[in-house]
Structure 1
């Protein structure tokens, strides 16, 4: 018995609160453009995919299968908390990644609106709209697991959270792959 189960419980609660917050933002993001002619444009497609991905995280069942440990109730509780910790932190990671993709798509919408200034897309806008799409693709490419993991770790550390047993990025990636 290592006496850290209270820290583990608190850590899981923090992560689940973070996940709940990011899931709220994902769900609140628009998915349909004001004009149906924009429905299949890059940014609006990205926003719809983010909404689908966010719903998939919620629909994915938790993996609560924990082998029975030797060492009594405290050791069993530790193993269960570590399993819940992995599940929660992987969901938070995926949620944050989706949220960042939504932010990039919303930047695209703002940039596109500033190009069009209330007008319909025309030949005179094509080069700027293409640049707008390319900027979105660049932003989306920069939202990697490594960057999301590092940003979340830094934020947790800056808030003084106990992160000693946070799963590695590889463990999170394995969790994500196992849910596909």
Structure 2
């Protein structure tokens, strides 16, 4: 009854975990504190702090370790266990990518804001530019959706020649995420 795909499943899990680890490095390396304390509550800095918190959460949340017993012997049991680990690692990578993209949008906001301020502080003369910067951040953050991330990551995996035959569906990923919030 074994399908002979457990080696591919194992490689897929390793790839997903490697991607997740790389994303975690980027998430952990991003700044969370502005150089001017009065900027602490600005939208971009608040988003960066939330990304840091979300990155820690997705790293620290427990994996589902209960795997149902299946018939068919050790290969079928290994298949079931690998599929569960694949869902966990795929979902973690998905969430880490979402956090990373949100963080990148907030870091662009910091750069835009700094270029508007030119080393100075906010004042009535640059208020409309800063408001535009804030509005662009909100647009960028709203554009980061589960659907777009799922599609982009699947496309990237396919282009890299990765085995994606048993990747979880988006709704399974979303269910996994909701269960850990």
TM-score normalised by structure 2 residue count: 0.99
Find the aligned partners of 2:65 and 2:93 in 1 and give their Cα distance: 17
Secondary structure in structure 1 of the residue aligned to 2:33: coil
Find the aligned partners of 1:155 and 1:64 in 2 and give their Cα distance: 29
Could you tell me which residue of structure 2 aligns to residue 105 of structure 1? 106
* Structure 1 residue 79 displacement after superposition: 0.1
Could you tell me which residue of structure 2 aligns to residue 167 of structure 1? 168
Could you tell me which residue of structure 2 aligns to residue 30 of structure 1? 31
The question of 1:71 aligning with 2:78 is answered: no
Could you tell me which residue of structure 2 aligns to residue 114 of structure 1? 115
The count of corresponding residues between Structure 1 and Structure 2 is 180
Secondary structure in structure 1 of the residue aligned to 2:163: coil
* Structure 1 residue 80 displacement after superposition: 0.1
Find the aligned partners of 1:147 and 1:140 in 2 and give their Cα distance: 12
The equivalences for 1:82-93 within 5 A come to 82-93=83-94
* Structure 1 residue 50 displacement after superposition: 0.1
Secondary structure in structure 2 of the residue aligned to 1:43: helix
Deviation per CA, 1:61-113: give whole Å up to 9, x if none: 00121100000000000000000000000000000000000000000001101
Find the aligned partners of 2:149 and 2:35 in 1 and give their Cα distance: 31
* Structure 1 residue 59 displacement after superposition: 1.3
Q: Which runs of 5+ in 2 are unaligned?
A: none
TM-score normalised by structure 1 residue count: 0.99
Find the aligned partners of 1:172 and 1:120 in 2 and give their Cα distance: 43
* Structure 1 residue 138 displacement after superposition: 0.2
Find the aligned partners of 1:34 and 1:103 in 2 and give their Cα distance: 18
Q: Which runs of 5+ in 1 are unaligned?
A: none
Could you tell me which residue of structure 2 aligns to residue 124 of structure 1? 125
Could you tell me which residue of structure 2 aligns to residue 18 of structure 1? 19
* Structure 1 residue 142 displacement after superposition: 0.2
